[in-house]
Amino acid sequence: MSTLQIVYHPHPALRWKSKDVTRIDAQLKDWVGQMFDLMYEANGIGLAANQVALPYRLFVINPTGDPNEKEMEQVFINPQIVKRNGSEEGEEGCLSLPEIYGPVTRAERITVEAFDLSGRDFAMDLNGMPARVVQHENDHLDGVMFTDRVSDEALKALMPLVDDLAVQLRRQQSEGTLASDKELKKQLQQLQDERTGG
């Protein structure tokens, strides 16, 4: 089983438009376990497959961020937000944009449909923090970052930090500790082809 790690902006996986999961097997369950572990290690409350360089429509959340509260863990496979109501602004961060936070307006209440790790479909009506987390993670699956949703003014303030992350990633690539964008995209395409048929 491959070992996952969180990737940082501007890794190509973060702009990849994910494909539906077509099978739930031991490999996928192992990845989900690793995603929860990585999320807790980074003090997060949600993590999308793109953030660990997997090109699949899948994310995990635990709005409490507490690894001891297993009953709050939720896996969303092939999620769809089918209803949005209301609007509220709140501060968001992202494990792929560490130490960067900004105000994002999201729907206050949502209905989301997805499959769980047993392959059963379910629907959830969410509000407050759980609704915000699901919207944030669902955006990731479409290659959308929270910085795409902040105001121009807020983005201007964040850009030096965002740009610094890009400099760090390019340095890793030039030093050979991280593959080139071309190679990373090739790896994503291979993973996608293996499990989704293209």
Q: Which residues are catalytic?
A: 137
Q: What are the φ/ψ torsions at residue 3 (nearest 5 degrees)?
A: -95, 130
Nearest one of 96, 73, 86, 85 to 146, comparing CA atoms: 96
Q: How far apart are CA 139 and CA 177, in angstroms?
A: 28
Q: How far apart are CA 61 and CA 119, in angstroms?
A: 17
Strands, E assignment, the chain = 46-48, 58-61, 74-85, 88-94, 97-106, 109-115, 121-127
Q: What are the φ/ψ torsions at residue 150 (nearest 5 degrees)?
A: -85, 165
Q: Which residues contact 186 (CB under 8 A, 6 or more apart)?
A: none
Torsion, CA 98, CA 50, CA 86, CA 99, rounded to 10: 0
